[in-house]
Structure 1
Amino acid sequence: MTYINEHVLNNLFYMLVSIFFFYFLYDHVRFFQRKKAHQRLLLIACLSVPIILCMKYPIYIAPDCVHDLRQVPFLLGTFYGGWTVSFPLLLILLLARWVMYGYQFITVAVYVMMFVFGSLFSPIFQRLSRKQRLFASAVMTFILAIVATILAIVISDFQVTESYIIHFILVPPFAVSFVVLIVETLREALLVRSKAIKLEKMEVVSQLAASISHEIRNPLTVVKGFLQLMKSKDILAETREQYINIALEELNRACAIIDDYLTFAKPFPEKIEPLDVHHELTKVIDMLRPLANMSGVDIVSALMPAKVSGNAQYFRQCFLNIIKNGIEAIQNVGAVYVHMHVDERTVTIVVRDEGAGMTKEEIARFGEPYFSTKQKGTGLGAMVAVRIIEMMNGTWTIKSEVGSGTTMTVTLPLLLEK
């Protein structure tokens, strides 16, 4: 007789699919990450499926006994979830058994015994290490199978067959140990990924903190120096006024760095509203026109009505940074062009300047913190703009050649009228 056949493999397949499905939903659906009660409900739902399928498609059916691996997912839920998971699984198992094969007192007694001892063992199991869980789950499953067999013999003079020994006593411990290995591997993978994400966030924060402290220290050092010079009694009033203006200019630069950092660091605002792109870009251009005139730069715009969904303050901040970068990239005279294109689903905003342009390496690093092609730039402005575009479910591309200027294209979802 072949003991390990396609029916045994099918039973194992049902369990493995349910375990993978559980971790897929747990990893991708936030509802199941919020509370342990939600995780227990998901575990009950996922493990009840292989319990029912194992009974529906058993390994071997004898006149007085049905052999299958239903106890494996049942014990798995008991070990990991305790009685709060095991009790609903027990009810589902007994109800399915009654619907498919009718009521049998031996089945009730056996699985109630497994429920009680498995639930008592669960707190101990959860405190064990990964290797200890593999061994303990197999040993506990084997012990419960022996106790269940003795209980069945005492209650109804149950006859132990060779098939019963293989499929109810010997195979389940190995099956439980194998499934526990899969579960522990998946849990460890999720834990490692979570730690990697936290370390990456901490690294970004530390890099930004180092960049901010470095960039703010420069203007503060200038301010400190000029304040010390102004302590001199024989300094001229005109010179004192010049020093004050320089100090104020450096303080304004420090404030701008802090504002850009806070815009990047704080979460996207909950206040989302329809935005008239034509109106908002006109405001941005009007704010930047004095700076452009001082730099000998013309701002040429070709705008059209269109609406997107977002936060007005952040939208203006985004394009203020982009257009301002274009103005500052022009060394002598030139122009910055702001054009719009609207199709059925998207709004495309193109900002093109006649500046110095960028190399391929500089384009690849666009949006990185503390990277800038400007002498006194921090790169935070571009980083903030990129973050805001992504928060608005938009995309961006940048094309540039040295000496031929830069073109940045931003595409945002069009807000359709209801």
Structure 2
Amino acid sequence: MYQVTAIGYFILSLLTCFIFTYELTSGMQMDLRNIPIVIGGLYMGLGPLLAIISIILSGFSGFDDEFSANMLFYGFSALLLWLVSPWFIKQKSPHRILYAVSLTIIMSFITLIYMEFSYPLDQKLDVWFAYLLIPGTGVAMISYIIEFISKNLLIREHLVKSKKLEVVEQMGAAISHEIRNPLTVAQGFVQLLQETSTNKETQNKYLSIIKAELESAERVIKDYLTFSKPALESIEKLIIQDELTHVLKILQPLANGNSVKISTEFTPKAMIQGDRQKFHQCFLNVLKNAIESMPNGGELVIETVTTRTDVIIRVRDNGIGMTKEQLDRLGEPYYSTKGSKGTGLGMMVVYSIVRAMKGKIEVQSEEGMGTVFQFSFHQFIPEKSFD
């Protein structure tokens, strides 16, 4: 698509040069066709195509000696540009500009020599000065613009690749850290079972710990798979009140253990469409984080509001809140060896699921003052049937 657009641009430029010509003498016209031919030939390898079009357009003025000269000159120029183009592209940016300008000046010089022998010219100095300066300056400006844009595109591409590599490295560190910890614990208790003789009760206790740690590692892997493949497996109608009540029942023991009071204010019959299992996973992560942010107790408030088009779910806690850095990195992986807890994988999953369900997330938080998550989903309104 890019190459087709470029070909169209150069052909249009060539036509424009033929339309806007300057007549020096009777039968002798000057134009700027060398500019698109040189730029297109060197940067895109379009020398033969543009030269053929130039020769054809020259034929509309008649098949005379000038046409024969044009055919010979631009035929040779096309061959030269086609051969030089691969070598030209490999050169450094300043050299490419210099070579393009030099070749344009040489082509203009040859044209002027032909004109000297073929047509009597008035004000020769002005003609030589203009025809050597204007095409060369035009090529210099266009070449500089091309090089400038190419350089910026390369820098942008490099930054995108660097950002992707950074995210992959951080995610790898985060996942390996979260998986290594439970596996290390499980491995330690397996060694205890192998090396020491323990009674049945102690064995069952150790096996329970091993099972819990392996389940923890499995959850991390499951979160990663959800993040990497967030596509919804099944779309169904979800009654928000029922789904959030189900999630809260699962988390109630954790809330009791942290002395967290849960308050709810649900809009009846508010519905959205989405994947039930992923919706549960999303809010399990959010509500679990909210409860764990209040280790000394507090209040967790979940409320829903409906607008004409959306269902809004707000989750508010009065926990430890987040720093500005943590707030900025929500939805990204993070891992620190300086004691910061967590990997960010859980919130990455939350953001991934909400995006897959075409929802939005807004977060407000202040360190020591709690956090408010606001989720917006398109409201599902059942069609009314009239009997």
Instruction: Compute the TM-score of the two structures, normalised by the length of structure 2.
Output: 0.79
The answer to whether the 8 A contact 1:323-1:336 is kept is no
Q: 1: CA distance between counterparts of 2:92 and 2:29? A: 35
Q: Which of 156, 177, 183 is the matching residue for 1:193?
A: 156
Q: 1: CA distance between counterparts of 2:119 and 2:311? A: 75
Q: 2: CA distance between counterparts of 1:267 and 1:260? A: 10
Q: Cα distance, 1:238 vs. partner? A: 0.6
Name 1:211's counterpart in structure 2.
Answer: 174
Higher relative contact order by CA 8 Å / sep ≥ 6: 1 or 2? 2
The answer to whether the 8 A contact 1:76-1:176 is kept is yes
Number of residue pairs matched by the alignment = 368
Identity among equivalent pairs (%): 29
Q: 1: CA distance between counterparts of 2:19 and 2:233? A: 51
Q: 1: CA distance between counterparts of 2:185 and 2:244? A: 30
The answer to whether the 8 A contact 2:51-2:77 is kept is no
Please list the CA deviations of residues 70-99 of structure 1 after superposition, one character each: whole Å capped at 9, or x if unmatched.
3212210111111xx334434555666677
Q: 1: CA distance between counterparts of 2:321 and 2:134? A: 66
The answer to whether the 8 A contact 2:40-2:47 is kept is yes
Residue 372 of structure 2 is aligned to residue 407 of structure 1: yes
Residue 285 of structure 2 is aligned to residue 321 of structure 1: yes
Name 1:22's counterpart in structure 2.
Answer: none
Residue 250 of structure 2 is aligned to residue 290 of structure 1: yes
Residue 319 of structure 2 is aligned to residue 356 of structure 1: yes
Which of the pair has more CA radius of gyration?
2
Instruction: Provide the alpha-carbon RMSD of the alignment.
Output: 3.6
SS in 2 for 1:231: helix
Counterparts in 2 of 1:121 and 1:365: CA distance versus 1, 3 Å: closer
Counterparts in 2 of 1:220 and 1:299: CA distance versus 1, 3 Å: farther
Q: 1: CA distance between counterparts of 2:246 and 2:168? A: 34
Q: Which of 135, 152, 160 is the matching residue for 1:172?
A: 135
For structure 1, the residue ranges without an aligned partner over 5 or more in a row are: 1-37
Counterparts in 2 of 1:389 and 1:93: CA distance versus 1, 3 Å: farther
Q: Cα distance, 1:340 vs. partner? A: 3.7
The answer to whether the 8 A contact 1:295-1:333 is kept is no
Q: 2: CA distance between counterparts of 1:273 and 1:46? A: 47
Please list the CA deviations of residues 371-395 of structure 1 after superposition, one character each: whole Å capped at 9, or x if unmatched.
69x9964321112212333455543
Q: 2: CA distance between counterparts of 1:77 and 1:204? A: 39
Residue 53 of structure 2 is aligned to residue 89 of structure 1: no
Counterparts in 2 of 1:231 and 1:133: CA distance versus 1, 3 Å: same
Q: 2: CA distance between counterparts of 1:234 and 1:182? A: 79
**The 10-residue stretch of structure 1 (133-142 or 321-330) with the greater mean CA deviation from structure 2:** 321-330
Instruction: Compute the TM-score of the two structures, normalised by the length of structure 1.
Output: 0.74
SS in 1 for 2:361: strand
Please list the CA deviations of residues 316-336 of structure 1 after superposition, one character each: whole Å capped at 9, or x if unmatched.
433332233334445447554
Q: Cα distance, 1:198 vs. partner? A: 0.7
For structure 2, the residue ranges without an aligned partner over 5 or more in a row are: none
The answer to whether the 8 A contact 1:285-1:299 is kept is no
The answer to whether the 8 A contact 2:300-2:315 is kept is no
